[in-house]
Structure 1
Amino acid sequence: MGGYSVLGHVSGGWWRAQGVRAALKVAGFGAEAWHQLHPRGFSKRSRSLENQPFPGLLQPENLSREELVDVLRASVVDQKGKPGELTLFSVLPELSQSLGLGEQELQVVHASGKETSGLVLLSSCPQTACRLRKFFAHSRRAQRPTATYWAVTDGIPATSEGKIQAALKLEHADGIGLVVPVKSPSRKDILEGVKRTLSHFRVVATGSGCALVQLQPLTVFPSQLQVHMVLQLCPVLGDHRHSARMRTVLGQRFLLPAESTKPQRQVLDEALLRRLCLTPSQAAQLPLHLHLRCLQLPGTRPRDGLIELLAPLPPYFSRTLQCLGLHQQ
């Protein structure tokens, strides 16, 4: 990977290399809100964090196009969107100018789902972007994880670590995309978009009936990690799309058939709401607690070891860990 060198530290901010930018992407209320880690000049529009159930979140209607470019210096807000929406892609030219890249165009090299917080890798060098994409593709083929996520789950996995395998497909109903598992997929299913997926998981901490789980996907599919945790009967907090499959009767958890379950806001029990200090209406707006914590990149020279990029947790994520007594060992 000759041709670029690290110019700054890799934890808690921008990671810079020739033609490469790593940004913190921070999620908000679904697709309609963004979280801002390092406020810059928004004192007039910011609310007191003490009065917010999810500290660090910022409503998009409070941002102008120019202000969004400023926020993007510390956070990436979205991967894609409808025509006319204010998204990362729509302001990449301004962001390039703001970073002093001139006519060089930024492109997304690595990103997770738009509701997921954490790292997003951008590049203004086509050659570097191509090499990095090849590195990620080769790592997947060799089943070497390059991305590590943290998730807070409603429930505790039955085993402390292991792997989750499932064949998944994306279905659309009433204009909503929903990822569902497919049992014993046929060759025809695979040709029609069904994909076999695999993730590693490890329980980092437990408390209050919840868990902090480390997740490492070895395949790429929309909402893969959320669905994998639902299949473990431990949905991610703030998963308002797939967690509706899980039901509890007399203390026993089970899954409803995917084909007959419509997405709905996640329902948390009263004890958990008290621990989180949330009302039911606030819980209905709970952000997805899935964070791209670490990303591995190849070193500058072939013999160099891997470089790790680390993203600090969003304030609302840290607050949840504190409320639930989830402390990393």
Structure 2
Amino acid sequence: MRAVLAREMDGCRVLGRVWSGWRRGLGVRPVPEDAGFGTEARHQRQLRGSRQRSGPLGDQPFPGLLPKNLSREELVDALRAAVVDRKGPLVTLNKPQGLPVTGKPGELTLFSVLPELSQSLGLGKQELQVVRASGKESSGLVLLSSCPQTASRLQKFFTHARRAQRPTATYCAVTDGIPAASEGKIQAALKLEHIDGVNLTVPVKAPSRKDILEGVKKTLSHFRVVATGSGCALVQLQPLTVFSSQLQVHMVLQLCPVLGDHMYSARVGTVLGQRFLLPAENKPQRQVLDEALLRCLHLTPSQAAQLPLHLHLHRLLLPGTRASDTPIELLAPLPPYFSRTLQCLGLCLQ
């Protein structure tokens, strides 16, 4: 994990050039051995190294997942080990896949253990609050702040960037299928529907003014295919709007669901090798992978049913201390199971 200072002095130009940078081959960059900040980051690298030495593909199909049934104390320890950067009031984590940020009362979430994490990090009465985070099923960057004023300033930065259509977050995803175009925009009107007891995000064709007033939102994401292999793709995604499951649904609309998407992948059907969209009202079900892909991944069908979502918040752009300062770029390493999948599929990092 590292923070990189951009070289331009004009804030708007810097934002634009960071976005265009992936077209020059920035891609997904491996983290140098000396990257990271503080003992927590070094400890995390040591843990990753010990797992990788167990064999070329590891001793388990999904290395690096958060263990189930953690106690509050164990979760706090895991989050402390996941700290990859601390600067002033800001704390950055590389969140494990499957950990919800918020939830119902009594549920073990990131939010529920923030008081203990704040104490563990020696912040005393300065309790951390969430500024930016990846969703439960995705992994990657979580930005926390112990200063309400700093948190408010960052929220305004993210809001203004969205309004100006300047991307601040870059996700990495592995997709089942290869998008028809190597890069472009995905635009769709989305809404939340309660279907069979589950809140699902569904697309809306040609939304009316009434639809917009009733909660339908026009969404937009940029995508770029970084590498392809074995019928899959490594894709970078940059959302320019915020909506529940936006990136997963956007990739389904490209007929290329994210690997491990057990919520929306069933909306993509196949007949004689041709993919097509099924009605959005279909019930969620476990993702089904063809036999050739299962062999590439060295997984049994039962293991594939437990495949974690391969969607990782890899890069986040933050403002400098002053308006004239250049932005700061934070990078989070890919989870070990994600790296294993790339190795199995022959997808190379740039």
Give the TM-score normalised by the residue count of structure 2: 0.80
- In the alignment, which residue of structure 2 is the partner of 1:55? 63
Aligned length: 298
- In the alignment, which residue of structure 2 is the partner of 1:10? 3
Displacement after TM superposition at 1:308 (Å): 0.2
The amino acid that maps onto 2:236 is: Q
- Give the secondary-structure state (helix, strand or coil) at the position aligned to 2:241: coil
Worse-superposed segment, 248-257 or 69-78: 69-78
- In the alignment, which residue of structure 1 is the partner of 2:284? 263
Matches of 1:257 and 1:307, distance apart in 2: 42
Say if 1:241 and 1:265, in contact at 8 Å, map to a contact too: yes
Matches of 2:224 and 2:305, distance apart in 1: 27
- Give the secondary-structure state (helix, strand or coil) at the position aligned to 2:58: helix
1:126 aligns with 2:148: yes
1:186-214 deviation digits (Å, cap 9, x = unpaired): 11111111000000000000011100001
- In the alignment, which residue of structure 2 is the partner of 1:287? 308
Structure 1 segments of 4+ aligned residues over 4 angstroms from their partners = 11-16, 36-40
The correspondence for 2:332, drawn from 282, 286, 311, is 311
Say if 1:267 and 1:284, in contact at 8 Å, map to a contact too: yes
Say if 2:178 and 2:231, in contact at 8 Å, map to a contact too: yes
The correspondence for 1:273, drawn from 294, 301, 312, is 294
Matches of 2:125 and 2:229, distance apart in 1: 51
- In the alignment, which residue of structure 2 is the partner of 1:155? 177
The amino acid that maps onto 1:51 is: D
The correspondence for 1:190, drawn from 212, 234, 239, is 212
- Give the secondary-structure state (helix, strand or coil) at the position aligned to 1:258: coil
- In the alignment, which residue of structure 1 is the partner of 2:132? 110
The amino acid that maps onto 2:175 is: T
Displacement after TM superposition at 1:300 (Å): 1.9
Calculate percent identity across the aligned residue pairs.
80
Matches of 1:156 and 1:243, distance apart in 2: 14
Say if 1:139 and 1:146, in contact at 8 Å, map to a contact too: yes
- Give the secondary-structure state (helix, strand or coil) at the position aligned to 2:238: strand
Which is richer in helix? 2
1:229-264 deviation digits (Å, cap 9, x = unpaired): 0000000000000010101110100011113x1100
Matches of 1:199 and 1:79, distance apart in 2: 22
Displacement after TM superposition at 1:14 (Å): 6.8
1:55-109 deviation digits (Å, cap 9, x = unpaired): 1123221x22112111111144321112211111111111110111110121100
Displacement after TM superposition at 1:37 (Å): 5.5
Say if 2:219 and 2:246, in contact at 8 Å, map to a contact too: yes
Say if 1:39 and 1:71, in contact at 8 Å, map to a contact too: no
Worse-superposed segment, 47-56 or 84-93: 47-56
- Give the secondary-structure state (helix, strand or coil) at the position aligned to 1:140: helix
Say if 1:226 and 1:236, in contact at 8 Å, map to a contact too: yes
Unaligned runs of at least 5 residues, structure 2: 5-30, 83-93
Displacement after TM superposition at 1:175 (Å): 1.9
Displacement after TM superposition at 1:128 (Å): 0.3
The correspondence for 1:65, drawn from 60, 72, 90, is 72
Q: CA RMSD in A?
A: 2.4
Q: Cα 1:127–1:14, aligned 2, differ >3 Å: closer, same or farther? A: farther
Matches of 2:333 and 2:235, distance apart in 1: 16
1:148-169 deviation digits (Å, cap 9, x = unpaired): 0000000000010000000000
